[in-house]
A and B are shown apart, each in its own frame.
Chain A
Amino acid sequence: MSERKHIIVTGGSRGLGAAMIAGLLADGHRVSTCSRKKSAAIESLLASHADSFFWQEAQVGEGEQVDAFVKAAGEWAGDDGIYGLVNNAGVAQTGILASFPNVESERMIQINLIGAIQMARAVSPFLMKRGEGRIINISSIIGQRGYNGMSAYSASKAGMDGLTRALARELGPRQITVNSVAPGYVATEMSSTLTPPQMKQIVNRTPLGRLASEQDVFELVRFLLSDKASCITGQVILVDGGISC
């Protein structure tokens, strides 16, 4: 992207989201994000990028808060409007489904899937109005392949991929692309749930011999946001070192 755009990235207070925000700001874009609390990373970005970074307290998955955040972000951006949305907010809990608390499954579906739908709903009028735009859903290899102890999480991510395909068809006539970026077993996602021997086994089974990094994932997001990716839509693209091939 040569031109400055305004992009909303959810789940930006830490991890992959914070890395993507830093990358987009470094590329000269304006970025908005929301979270329940203002993290140290958010405080730092607000101080260093006062004119190009917007944050508002909002919980993804709570429809009214999502609507209020997107409206505020659109107003903050002024004539730049909103060009893109990266649905990155998500939570992961593991456990054997037979004893997994229903409330945790519901929370994961609410934040990971319903939250993504709410954000896309709130942002899409901005994109439709300008007749262009990008929606990128950060799903997961686990949505495609499943993983022991991650049934509800897998369902939420597979749901995001369904959202991607349907919304790509719906918004295509307005030149808005919708794609899923599905990281493989990224250390940040799985570090709390996998033992070192399990991690070693995954690396050994990966053709490229390493886990995807946050930067690897961001490079694909950056490309999909660019004009160069204007003919790619409705796809789920894995960044997994080839483990799924």
Chain B
Amino acid sequence: MTEEQVLGEISKAVAQILSDKGLPAPALTADTELLGGDLQIDSLDLAMLVREMEERIGFDPFQDGFIDFRTAGELAKLYVK
């Protein structure tokens, strides 16, 4: 999967999380900050996003330890092998 495709999956997963909370899904770009920015998600939502991405992409990039990421683009890169 390309970085752009992964970003699309992140966007869909974030939209689902926000939808479950009754919130609209804003457009998501590589520079979108996942926490502390405009997205109305909290740290628990972020944990759900990571687990959802594991389901969607098929592997867990954090299996061997935590990797710091801040934006959607930085997270997407972790799923590109």
Contact = CB atoms under 8 A, between A and B. Distances in A.
B59 to A, nearest CB: 12
Describe B's contact surface by its main secondary structure: helix
B49 to A, nearest CB: 10
A128 B20 CA distance: 11
Describe A's contact surface by its main secondary structure: helix
Nearest to B52: A125
Question: Which of B20, B44, B47, B48 has the most chain A CB atoms inside 10 A of its CB?
Answer: B44
A124 B44 CA distance: 10
Interface in B18-45: 20, 42, 44
A49 interface: no
B20 to A, nearest CB: 7
Nearest to A171: B44
A124 B48 CA distance: 9
Interface residues of B, number: 6
A129 B20 contact: yes
A15 interface: no
B44 A173 contact: yes
B58 to A, nearest CB: 13
9 contacts: A125-B47, A125-B48, A125-B51, A128-B44, A128-B47, A129-B48, A170-B44, A173-B44, A174-B44
Given A124-B47, A125-B47, A129-B20, 11 more contacts: A125-B48, A125-B51, A128-B44, A128-B47, A128-B48, A129-B48, A170-B44, A171-B44, A173-B42, A173-B44, A174-B44
